[in-house]
Amino acid sequence: MSAASPASRWRGPLQLVAKRIGLAFVTLGLVSAVIFTISGLLPGDAAQELLGQGATPEQIAALRSEMGLDRPALVRYFGWLRGIVIGDPGKSLVANMPVADIISERLPNTLVLAGLTTLFAVPIAFLVGIWSAVTRGHAADRALNIMTLAMVALPEFLVATIAVLVFSVKLLWLPSITIVPQDPTLVEFLRAYAMPVMVLGVGVIAQLGRMIRAAIIAELDRPYVEMAVLKGVSQPRLIFRHVLPNAVGPIVNAMALSLSYLFGGAIIVETIFSYPGLASLMVNAVTSRDMPLLQACAMLFCATYLFLVLIADTVAILANPRLRQG
């Protein structure tokens, strides 16, 4: 019987990946409707916020008509959705400038914060997960489990408050507000980002470390590991050459879920440390009832989360030997 051609061998995995991509777009469409509906349920609107409590109903009605807030909800939704698809999410009702320009100014800051947190947290999470899995049942494993469970239970605002009290108020080591000067030195850059990265990293390290531990333990219980041990394979070689490659699917899924947590935690962290990122921009949009800006920020967060999950699903599919062999 002839061997399968490369095209037929990859047909199954590619079809699954295509289905995942299609489901991601469908999910994003449903999410857009939810975001638009929920944001419309907020009390008040931008016209009332701009004019204040002393405005007359006629003034509010005139400004609402000028902003297009008096149009039917479905008309506004499909007009907004069309703008999202073509890359034009509209104009900020408060700043009176394109939403895309406002987001493009803040987005790099959030990406820098997320990137630094990833570089800080992921290696530590791998060390915690691997060490805990290798020493399972021993004192080190129990101590790491208690520590990571406590870290998961701590809310970001509490960790941030404790960090400010310790490192800013008591020790005077780090600034309590994240202000990055223009053309900063390496020391200034690290001091500015130290606390927000540390606060966000606590949750990522705890969640990802526990998930990596579970994925490695699941592989350590497989028969091939016992066979490798009987053949005299050293523990480092067993972990890094055999166990980790076979656990890549669950680990990548765990990384996607943990890194998507950054965007939820960033809302609290950016607000507490007055960091000029996308999450704090969304909080300001809620306060001012700037719906186009709020909806665009929420869609960007949801699209990023779906993108991370899609990458994790793709890696898990392609890492499955049965799927690779068609």
Instruction: Read off the pLDDT of residues 181-238 as tens digits, 9 standing for 90 and up.
Output: 777 788 888 888 888 888 888 888 888 888 888 888 888 888 887 787 777 777 788 8
> What residue numbers bound the domain in which 210 lies?
103-324
Which residue(s) pair with 91 in the sheet?
98
Task: Report the CATH number at residue 272.
Answer: 1.10.3720.10
To the nearest whole percent, how much of the chain has pLDDT over 90? Answer: 1
pLDDT over 70 at 325, yes or no: no
* 157-186 pLDDT tens trace: 888 888 888 888 888 888 877 777 777 788
What rounded mean pLDDT belongs to the chain?
A: 79
Q: Is residue 207 part of a domain?
A: yes
Q: How many domains does the chain have?
A: 1
Q: Residue 59: its pLDDT value, please? A: 66
Q: Is residue 237 part of a domain?
A: yes
* 52-97 pLDDT tens trace: 666 667 766 776 676 666 677 787 888 888 888 888 887 887 777 8
Q: Is residue 242 part of a domain?
A: yes
Q: Residue 326: its pLDDT value, please? A: 47
Does the reported pTM lie above 0.85? no
pLDDT over 80 at 304, yes or no: yes
Burial 302-318 (b: 16+ CB within 10 A, else e): bbbbbebbbbbbbbbbb
Q: Is residue 64 part of a domain?
A: no
Q: Is residue 1 part of a domain?
A: no
Q: Is residue 174 part of a domain?
A: yes
CB neighbours of 160 closer than 8 A, spacing ≥ 6?
195, 196, 199, 268, 269, 272, 273
